[in-house]
Amino acid sequence: MSNGVRLIRNDRLTQKVDYAYAAIADAPVRSIWVAGACPLDLDGETVAVGDYAGQTHQMMCNLVTALEGAGASLIDQLVEVEATAVIAGACG
Contact (CB, 8 A) for 19 and 31 = no
Please list, in sequence order, all residues whose beta carbon lies within 8 angstroms of the beta carbon of residue 77, skipping any fewer than 6 positions away.
none
pTM flag (> 0.85): no
Adjacent-strand bridge partners of 25: 5, 31
How many folded domains does the chain comprise?
1
Is residue 77 domain-resident?
no
Q: pLDDT digit string (tens) for 6-64?
A: 998 889 999 988 888 899 998 888 888 887 678 899 999 999 998 888 888 898 899 88
3-state SS string over 50-65?
Answer: CCHHHHHHHHHHHHHH
Say yes or no to pLDDT of 1 above 60: no
Contact (CB, 8 A) for 30 and 37 = no
Give dist(CA 87, CA 11) in Å, integer: 28
Is residue 82 domain-resident?
no
Is residue 92 domain-resident?
no
Determine the structural domain holding residue 30 and report its residue range.
5-69
